[in-house]
Structure 1
Amino acid sequence: MDDDGLNAARADAESEPASDADHDAESPPESESRSETRETDPDAAGDGPDTDDDAAGDDTDDAASPDNGDDEASSNETMPGVPDPEPEASDVPEDVQKYARFTKMDGAQYDRVNEFLRDRTYITAREWAIARLCSDFRTETGVEMTKIGENLPELVPFMTDTYTPQAVNQARSSFEDKVRTAGATFLYGAMCDFFTAEELDDVMYESTEVAKFLLEVEGVDLSVEEELEAEERISSVMREVRAASEELRERDEE
């Protein structure tokens, strides 16, 4: 993937991806246990308030009270000794309300995000989002999988349904397995003398650019110093891999 392709993807993701009407990307696999929509069927919703009963109730009140106007005025006033009713408390935890990792993805649709990731990585949009949440909501005793699953649509704009703790754990495990598999694949390619040193540098550059882009989308601001430090660590590891590969080949030739 060249720089122009990545820059186009970055501009595309930071715009309003949901404005595109057609998406050719495959839908998330059935194993991801996602419902197609969370919208309530208006036909299945309960009926509205019974206006006839309300009207009957009003008539009864009028008949029982000689002066309905005074009753209405008094009902609008706070009764002595009775506190004002508090607004209904939100069921969303405070740390969930303040979570702002994926704000740049507001308006994005799952299929669009999934298509982008599948073109450049092994992971799905579901695995990407949940892996990040598991990292952010890790505590001393473990990961708050119940909180993540119950509040998934509030935490990640392109996720539209809640998940069970088991589904969250499955996505996290799948992410970890894929990272390990991809790492083994890359290291084998680097050590088997299939790529030249220059080709490996190109692979590392492209991989680093994609990783930095995903971090930017999550809202992570990397300083120049942090980028250089990360690139130096990667280069150091690659030098060790090349040295080990050359040593192994020399042993085989003896």
Structure 2
Amino acid sequence: MTEQSPGTDGDDARSETPVSETDPADDTAAEDRDASPADATVDEGAEPTPGVPDEETLDVPEDVATYDRFKKMDGAQYERVNEFLRDRTYITAREWAIARLCSDFRTETGVEMTKIGENLPELVPFMTDTYTPQAVNQARAAFEDKIRTAGATFLYGAMCDFFTAEELDDVMYESTEVAKFLLEVEGVDLSVEEELEAEERISSVMREVREASAELREEEESQ
């Protein structure tokens, strides 16, 4: 099985509705809704000449050829990666990969959307199609929308007194473990000190959120 191209039938296929016109709370509609990938013609029956670089290899930019962010994902299938993410996060495999690429290929003047789209299969092992710059931008926008929506949902859950302090700690621990795993898959080597520092920063913020929420509820009840 391979990654489904946007615009085809399937669980990850969506219409070309702009991101801003789709309700981000709708998990189904918010999943994969980019434009069609760039057209490409490939002669699957052609065999490369041993020792002679093919034309496609020669056209790959140097920073693309040396990019190894997702090297641990060699041989992975899109559906498996997507299933893992869907079970643990609010984002899809396409949005995860493209959001990371947009960060890595950011320049002083913006993000190199065209380079990312044209070289997507070379950059990410589980992506099999090239994408238009518009499709790349739409995936990035979908990622940002979902992060903001998930953040608001989580903070509301933390502030509305639905979770006890212990339950909230469990949520934070599980979330941190998933986030660390994704970073490790991307090739980010976190030291024990860095992990502890990140966990302490998160715990500190959440303590402040709980304290501020409790104070706010007390003020409301006293009025």
Instruction: Return the TM-score normalized by structure 1.
Output: 0.69
Q: Give the counterpart of 2:70 among 76, 87, 102.
A: 102
Write the mapping of 1:44-63 to structure 2, written as runs, cut at 5 A: none
For 2:203 and 2:128, the matched residues in 1 are separated by: 39
Say if 2:124 is the partner of 1:156: yes
Q: Give the counterpart of 1:122 among 90, 106, 112.
A: 90
2:37·2:129 contact (CA, 8 Å) conserved in 1? yes
Write the mapping of 1:1-254 to structure 2, written as runs, cut at 5 A: 27-30=11-14, 31-32=33-34, 33=36, 40=43, 90-254=58-222
Q: What's the offset of the Cα at 1:87?
A: 9.2
2:118·2:132 contact (CA, 8 Å) conserved in 1? yes
Identity of aligned residues (%): 82
* Paired amino acid for 1:120: R
2:159·2:209 contact (CA, 8 Å) conserved in 1? yes
Q: Over alpha carbons, which structure has the higher Rg?
A: 1
For 1:181 and 1:228, the matched residues in 2 are separated by: 27
Deviations 1:38-67 (A, max 9, x none): 86465xx8xxxxxxxxxxxxxxxxxxxxxx
In structure 1, the gaps of 5 or more residues are 1-16, 19-25, 46-85
Instruction: Return the TM-score normalized by structure 2.
Output: 0.78
For 1:87 and 1:175, the matched residues in 2 are separated by: 35
For 2:41 and 2:212, the matched residues in 1 are separated by: 53
* Paired amino acid for 1:180: R
Q: 1:98 to 1:242 in 2, by over 3 A?
A: same
Deviation above 4 Å: which 4+ runs of structure 1?
A: 86-89
1:138·1:144 contact (CA, 8 Å) conserved in 2? yes
1:38·1:161 contact (CA, 8 Å) conserved in 2? no
2:78·2:127 contact (CA, 8 Å) conserved in 1? yes
For 1:123 and 1:28, the matched residues in 2 are separated by: 11
2:99·2:143 contact (CA, 8 Å) conserved in 1? yes
SS of 1:127 mapped into structure 2: helix
In structure 2, the gaps of 5 or more residues are 3-9, 15-32, 47-52
Quick check: which one's helix share is greater?
1
